[in-house]
Amino acid sequence: MIGVWSEHAQIYLLFFATLTTLFFALPIFLAPLAWARMMMWKIPKDTDLAVYFGRCLGAFILIVEMLAFRAGLTGEGLVFTFQVLIAVFLFMLVVHIYGALKKIQPITETMENILWVVLLVLTLAFFPVV
């Protein structure tokens, strides 16, 4: 299964990076509290720390997006970018499963586990075989 669609690895990265930049990275980076409200989080009165952490998370997502766009457009760092994505998706699964088990997150975050599994499987399927 790993690399079954590897000849389309760059197209997959461009598609992935475009969608996740528009729907995750930029909203979290530019308006973290609006994104949090949309995801059904309770917003505290003092929001400075939440905004700070949201923007930090958004910045790191944008770094991953830049890696994906570079690899998708040029082919440079293709294997490394896929390895980074696999690590991101595995860690995000751990974070969201933990939150679900502890019952400390809205249902939208628990349902996000489906997204992380789908992205992990797709990324493995498109993994560039060298």
pLDDT band at 130 (very low <50, low <70, confident <90, very high): confident
Torsion region of 106: left, alpha or beta (phi above 0 gives left; psi -120 to 50 gives alpha)? beta
16 and 78 Cβ atoms separated by less than 8 Å: no
Residue 33 pLDDT > 90, yes or no?
yes
Q: What is the mean pLDDT of residues 48-68?
A: 96
Q: Which two tokens stand for residue 128?
A: 């560039």
Percent of the chain with pLDDT over 90: 96
What's the predicted TM-score (pTM) here? 0.91
Which of these, 114, 18, 125, lies nearest to 73 by C-alpha position?
A: 18
Q: Identify the band that residue 72 occupies on the pLDDT scale cut at 50, 70 and 90.
A: very high
Query: Is the pLDDT at 85 greater than 90, yes or no?
Result: yes
